[in-house]
């Protein structure tokens, strides 16, 4: 068995229990189960899982949102938002997180979204470095964003020319 072989695919309803367990295990901020269900139903093309030998080992959950107004074009701007991404600790540093994020960004481009944003803990150097490799830049710092009081960086990448 090649332990580095994994598959990225859309999240299915039957995957949600495992996705929620990964969220609880990997991240201090957790969402209600109904939130995961709603995101999968509304944005199936922006919610992916990573699978190794039939086991879900990571996920990315994103949505589309309106982001202000584009005055020259007289229309609201549409952007993607990475709500949550996690990979089980024993499967990290294998390209899974990068592949999940790249797949989600490709789907956002297919939706013709103009940009993608995410929030990340200022102390999460590994994640910040990953996001930078995929073109994200720090836009601002959000004080006391997390429940434990840690600040977040708001990071953004343009998806259109």
Q: What is the DSSP string of 49-108?
A: EEEETTEEEEEEEEEEEEEEEETTTTEEEEEEEEEEEEE-GGG-SSSHHHHHHHHHHHHH
Its pTM stands at: 0.91
Specify the DSSP class assigned to residue 9. Answer: E
Predicted local distance difference test score (pLDDT) of residue 2: 47
Q: Is 6 a residue whose pLDDT tops 80?
A: yes
What is 7-113's CATH topology?
Aminopeptidase (3.40.630)
Handedness of CA 18, 87, 119, 160 (dihedral sign): negative
The structure tokens 């490709």 sit at 106
Count of helices and strands (H, E) across the chain: 4, 7
**Rounded-to-integer distance, Cα 141 and Cα 150, Å:** 11
Q: Which residue has the tokens 């299915």?
A: 12
DSSP label of 114: S
Q: Given this model, what pLDDT does residue 147 score?
A: 87
Give tens-digit pLDDT for 76-114. Answer: 788 999 999 999 999 998 999 999 999 999 999 999 999
Residue 1 has pLDDT above 50, yes or no: no
Name residues whose C-beta falls within 8 Å of residue 80's C-beta, 6 or more positions apart in sequence. 46, 62, 63, 64, 65, 104, 105, 108, 111, 113, 115, 116, 117, 159
For residue range 35-58, list pLDDT tens digits in order. Answer: 999 999 999 999 999 999 999 999
Secondary structure class of 41 (helix, strand, coil)? helix
């Amino acid at each position: 068995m090649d332990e580095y072989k994994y598959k990225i695919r859309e999240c299915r309803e039957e995957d949600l229990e495992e996705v929620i367990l990964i969220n609880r295990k990997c991240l201090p901020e957790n969402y209600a189960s109904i939130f995961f269900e709603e995101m999968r139903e509304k944005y199936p093309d922006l919610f992916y899982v990573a699978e190794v030998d039939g086991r879900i080992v990571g996920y990315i959950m994103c949505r589309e949102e309106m982001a202000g107004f584009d005055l020259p074009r007289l229309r609201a701007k549409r952007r993607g938002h990475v709500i949550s991404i996690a990979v089980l600790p024993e499967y990290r540093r294998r390209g899974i997180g990068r592949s999940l994020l790249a797949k989600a960004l490709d789907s956002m481009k297919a939706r013709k979204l103009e940009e993608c944003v995410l929030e990340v803990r200022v102390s999460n150097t590994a994640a910040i470095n990953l996001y930078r490799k995929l073109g994200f830049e720090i836009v601002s710092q959000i004080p006391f964003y997390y429940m434990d009081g840690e600040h977040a960086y708001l990071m953004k990448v343009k998806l259109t020319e």
